[in-house]
Chain A
Amino acid sequence: MTLTRASAWRCAAVLTGIALVVTACGTSADDEASGSDEAGDPAAAFEPPDLPMLEEIGAGEGELNILSWAGYAEDGTTDPNVDWVSPFEDETGCQVTNKVFNTSDEAVSLMQSGQYDVVSASGDASLRLIAGGDVEPVNTDLVPNYVDIWPFLKDRAWNTVNGVNYGIPHGWGANVLMYNTQEVDPAPASWSVVFEDAEQQDGRVTAYDSPIYIADAAMYLMETEPDLGIENPYALDDDQLAAAVDLLKQQSESVGEYWADYTKEISAFKTGSSTVGTTWQIIANLAKADGAPVDVVLPEEGATGWSDTWMVGAESEHKNCAYLWMDWIASPDVNAQVAEWFGEAPGNSKACDLTADPDHCATFHAGDEEYAEQIWYWTTPIEQCLDGRTDVTCTDYAAWTQAWTEIKG
């Protein structure tokens, strides 16, 4: 460059000045940075910001921005017969815009923008949203259908903090194993088909592209390597995390691609790029409907899963519509429709009488509290061990995120 030295210094000074000014203005409002670790019950390891909840529902604002998992807010575009959004719009006048997210990380990021009114948060997103002040407490008195929700879904660690409810339970389900019936023979009964026996699939294994998948490996190790002492797949100390990471690194050599958006997994199974891997029931249903030779199984080692909660955005400008939506989606009829479409257990106990398939609830063990307790619901790993150990520090989600980058290589 032909800058003179003096002008170069001038440039640098100007730029540094800008940087300093910018720093003074700050890059994020973190003055209420909560999250200072306090000892005690892991669920109350933080002090959520003190946000007010709605006291009464007024008239609908005419608009609603929903942030949801794929398949939770269907408006007839995926399948003309599957639509519970249009009736909602007709009844309440709240015109719905739905944004689908693929992972809980995306959900947290999008909610932080403050532009969504209501979100279907899984357990590994809900507490982060609460701690970050992105969602506000929910007044369950304003949601008439709340009373019919299964009791074992209410007041749980992922949707209630210090006795304050932050959302309406939606439903729950397990991450099951999908396999190509022609390529994977005999039908698998264990997760070993994606771990130790993964090489048999010639690089066509797939896995969910999120650090939370490490819990699946940890859960598998609970059965196969009990000496590691893993009690809760979300409470991993450094050694346990290292063991899970090793298992996943080994698996990644057989992984063709990781999936986050569900159409990718459907197309991969349809074309044969993937032949076995973790999935959601809805993906298997859609793939089968499109002619892919697939089937699902819940392996013997158990499964991770999700228990979702509808939460209201703290900065939402359409809170009345938000509450109307939460009541709508929690109503027996609609809850039954969602549960059947997505392939999960409904949160409303009365939904079981209304499913088109009378065996739906039996298949998904809805209401079976014991079964429900066996699923390892997505939860954010934190430093305080979620299994109650106090002699070690567990790895937190930041460590998992970095481990995940290492695993993918």
Chain B
Amino acid sequence: MWLPRPVTWALRCAVGLTLAFIYVPLLVVVLNAFNPDRVSTWPPSGFTLDWWREALTNQGALDATLVSVQVALCATALALALGTLASFALQRYAFFGRDAVSLLVILPIALPGIVTGLSLNAAFTAMLGLDLGFLTIVVAHATFCIVVVFNNVIARLRRLGETAEAASMDLGATRFTTFRLVTFPALRSALLAGGLLAFALSFDEIIVTTFTAGAGTETLPIWILNNLTRPNNAPVVNVVGTCLIVFSILPIYLSQKLSGTASGGRF
């Protein structure tokens, strides 16, 4: 749309500054991945690839990444199932307490992580007597990932309407067939976009995870937390950070393509 030239240029400046704001800290991380100093400072005192060599053989980092991926996959799967069910219920039906339910779905992500973490920790250890570990992390992550999927699916459901499904059933399909052949394909991209965002949320989550992980399980953020405080390991963390920056382009690009519109799905 048309805007006077100075306004357009002012906007371009703002965008440039914002991009600088976003990427300068990431640049610092990348530079420190090559900094021979044990405790990251500025300016970097040299250039070395030693930390990269160490990172590639660091079993802790690799194990932690694997655990994080596993946790995120499980949590995302659960969130997809529960979020889709909930969004169908809230979009297609009117019932008492509908608003309360939608508030309840948002609550895990709207309340500060420390509250969620503390409550789940108390519930798992004191009330249920469970050992903290992989399962408890998955449960915690799934809880706040539900809303991410929920929002994507419900937005798509609003756009879809019910006519296609009604037509399918008029033509003789059962509900299950209709879901399989009509509804699900229409939802697929929203599910994938929501799933990707849920995965990202779970992959990077630290606060709730520290309360629900226990001693034996280390997700990547916990590994980072443990190693940022050890002098020789802190630079390896920067290497991991650099890798994350590079590898993150792929999932975001994917979610972009899948969401249909350029808004990358909403959450």
Contact = CB atoms under 8 A, between A and B. Distances in A.
Interface stretch (A260-268, A339-347, A369-377): A260-268
Nearest to B45: A291
B122 A263 contact: no
B125 to A, nearest CB: 7
B96 A4 contact: yes
How big is chain B's contact interface, by range? 20 to 34
Interface of B: 37-42, 96-97, 99-100, 103, 122, 125-127, 131-132, 214-216, 226, 228-234
Given A110-B215, A115-B215, 10 more contacts: A6-B96, A7-B100, A10-B96, A22-B127, A29-B126, A70-B229, A270-B39, A271-B41, A286-B231, A290-B39
30 contacts: A1-B100, A1-B103, A2-B99, A3-B96, A3-B100, A4-B96, A7-B100, A10-B96, A27-B122, A28-B122, A77-B230, A77-B232, A78-B232, A99-B226, A100-B226, A100-B229, A102-B229, A113-B125, A113-B214, A115-B214, A263-B39, A263-B229, A263-B230, A263-B234, A266-B39, A266-B231, A267-B39, A271-B42, A290-B37, A290-B39
Nearest to A6: B96
Contacts of A79: 232
Nearest to A315: B131
B127 A26 contact: yes
Contact of B99 (A3, A78, A100): A3
Contacts, number: 81
A97 interface: yes
Contacts of B122: 27-28
Contacts of A1: 99-100, 103
A45 B4 CA distance: 79
A404 interface: no
Contact of A78 (B40, B41, B214, B230): B230
Contact of B229 (A3, A22, A261): A261
A115 B97 CA distance: 42
A2 B100 CA distance: 9
Contacts of A33: none
- Residue of B122, B229, B233 with most partner-chain A CB within 10 A: B229
B223 to A, nearest CB: 12
A77 B96 contact: no
A57 interface: no
Contact of A7 (B37, B96, B131, B216): B96
B188 to A, nearest CB: 32
Nearest to A11: B100
B39 A25 contact: no
A321 B103 CA distance: 50
Contact of B216 (A3, A10, A28, A115): A115
Nearest to A27: B126
A65 interface: yes
Q: A-B pairs with the 6 shortest C-beta distances?
A: A115-B215, A7-B96, A261-B229, A267-B39, A28-B126, A263-B229
Contact of B215 (A22, A78, A97, A102): A97
A2 B98 CA distance: 9
A100 B227 CA distance: 10
B197 to A, nearest CB: 27
Contact of A99 (B97, B215, B231, B233): B215
Interface in A56-110: 65, 70, 77-79, 97, 99-100, 102, 110
Given A3-B99, A263-B39, A27 B232 contact: no
Given A2-B99, A26-B126, A78-B232, A113 B132 contact: yes
A26 B122 CA distance: 10
Nearest to A112: B125
A264 B231 CA distance: 10
A264 B126 CA distance: 33
A148 B128 CA distance: 44
